[in-house]
Chain A
């Protein structure tokens, strides 16, 4: 009996030390919650410069950001350099008074200069880190990444939250692809695909409430296209039209807006595409590879500035043709760019692999060289089905 009591006591003491959750714990007040990371090169010296936007929870409380912690600033931005990304991150701790913690990080921004040197080691570092979420958004900027990370932008109290939400709802704006760490990693590891990242830039015309009276503009972060990569190295920027063509292939938009001139006046007609079905079908016939792209969509009239009725068959057909034409132009433009650059950022190889595995295998190493000879067949079919709530447009003096 006595022996049993002693054994239970020993077990209890061991359990107290090991299983109460106190071991290895870090108090939340000792953590510096990183919300956004910017990665730049430092001058010409191959040094990495890391900028971290760190939340100050005490000053970020409440939806309005009413300060309780003293400074009124919901974030604190810190910058450090090192020979590698990890060393730079550690150097942040030279003056950060808390332990750097990445689990809440929302976005990673690479500068163009850094991306030209290759992202492989950065992706490796972020993938190895157990704190980081794989759904962290990744972007590239032609500016200094530190400037973007340090910019107060959007409606959220924490700027990184604004950027994160901007990405999450970017399907409506359809100005840039949505790429997270998981997708970037998959593109990098794919034997045929080349990565593509959304471009973020600084916009000078965002107005802040406090500055409206002074007619002063405030810098905001905006989605502004896409950057293409050869393996892990940055190659170039896509134009706005090319980016919109790219989205059909890799980052399906939630909606698309097309604006045309009225046939009878200088006013505009706006059409929204919400429902669509996009398919990409590779065909390998007589040693020639081609892709059939099929895009069936339903359009809706959303804004009409002239006398224009959906019930006139001629009007309907004219709009449908114009939408088809616009879509075809953007898809053909991005296709031509892909062929010119010989980079598979449209992930054609991945589609081919599923249909023609053995042929893909034989072109595993030279798939990029195959791209210029690939033919594209487009089947776009737009149906203008709805005029939203109105039967007739609101034209002045026309009851």
Chain B
């Protein structure tokens, strides 16, 4: 069912995968950690995200027909590769939960506080399941719409808050130190990690292999720029302490926008724009999770749609039901787990892949010399 996708769609998918969680939950967590250096932390994360993306693309480029799980199996063998595949499945389950937290916290806390949490999880998962049934090409097209809605959202917010923007609030930079700011960038790194892991799973379907690095870096750059506007505005309008006090800082920002005088409950419009990006994230992470488990156990992926959706939804529900658990997961558990897989495991596979290639080349060279 899957056909080839174009690089603009890949760029759109990357932007969507970075955006939704990064503008709200991540900024609040980082602001609590490093005060008004949280915008610098996001800036640092863009560079680190670019590095993660390049590593992932180089790994897939070693054999352009294989995704991350297949590459792991080819490099370290079926058993160890299978274990790494399971790690990837765990990663996508965790990432799905992270995005589900973003989805639920926005809608439940700000609009429908009395609706049972399970309803949000079921609705979002059904949409993701439906999209998966339609295929990633369709999701990719939705992602293009998502990019336009993200741009609109950013423009609206910029217009709505510029009057209250005070550039002095962004300074001083590195008040908590460069190291602390760098460490705080791990929270935003996890958002870029989601994009690089997704890219690792879908790259084999992207035509024009020679344009992969340029396209993915373009996605990271544009995604980063679109995200960057938020911490800058949040810091310059709300102040860092206020941003840090809220769980979903971007909604607080929307609730405070000048535009709210004219468009009452402006955050509702914001969520409408932003939900596309969120749902694209859920669709892609579910797709990647299903593909990862299918390739780990060499199964047909369509058979796994329902059980994996149920499994991911249940895991997400168990986390999202409790605010304390949610924040513990997002700020303590998720960053090291996510970065260990998206950066360390991928980098390790890349290095082993290169070493194997080097050894094979030398062996071939030696055998050619012999003959």
Contacts and interface: CB of A to CB of B under 8 A. Distances in A.
Interface of A: 11, 14-15, 18-19, 23-24, 103-104, 127, 130, 133-135, 182, 185-186, 189-190, 350-351, 353-354, 357, 361
Interface in B203-258: 237-239, 241-242, 245, 252, 255-256, 258
B242 A186 contact: yes
Contacts of B255: 130, 133-134
A23 B130 CA distance: 22
Contacts of A135: 256, 258, 260-261
A23 B119 CA distance: 10
Nearest to A26: B114
Interface stretch (B167-175, B194-202, B307-315): B167-175
Interface in B286-337: none
A18 B252 contact: no
11 contacts: A11-B130, A18-B122, A130-B109, A130-B111, A133-B255, A134-B256, A186-B239, A190-B241, A350-B169, A353-B172, A361-B175
Contacts of B237: 182
Nearest to A186: B239
Specify the main secondary structure of chain A where it touches its partner: helix
Given A18-B119, A18-B123, A189-B239, A133 B260 contact: yes
A24 B115 contact: yes
Interface string B128-156: 00100000000000000000000000000
Contacts, number: 65
Given A130-B110, A351-B168, 14 more contacts: A23-B115, A24-B112, A24-B114, A127-B245, A135-B261, A182-B164, A186-B238, A186-B242, A190-B241, A353-B168, A354-B168, A354-B169, A354-B171, A357-B175
Interface in B158-207: 164, 168-169, 171-172, 175
B172 A189 contact: no
A64 to B, nearest CB: 23
B87 interface: no
Nearest to A164: B261
Contact of A354 (B113, B172, B258): B172
Given A23-B119, A134-B255, A350 B261 contact: no
A283 B113 CA distance: 49
A350 B168 contact: yes
Given A127-B245, A186-B242, A357 B122 contact: no
A354 B245 CA distance: 21
Contacts of A133: 255-256, 260
B304 to A, nearest CB: 16
Contacts of A11: 126, 130
B32 interface: no
A104 B264 CA distance: 8
Contacts of A190: 239, 241
A15 B245 contact: no
Interface in B256-277: 256, 258, 260-261, 264-265
Given A18-B123, A24-B112, A24-B115, A103 B265 contact: yes
B300 to A, nearest CB: 17
A18 B125 CA distance: 12
Contact of B256 (A18, A182, A353): A182
Nearest to A351: B168
Contacts of B110: 130
Nearest to A185: B242
B122 A134 contact: no
B305 to A, nearest CB: 11
Given A19-B123, A127-B245, A357-B175, A103 B264 contact: yes
B245 A357 contact: no
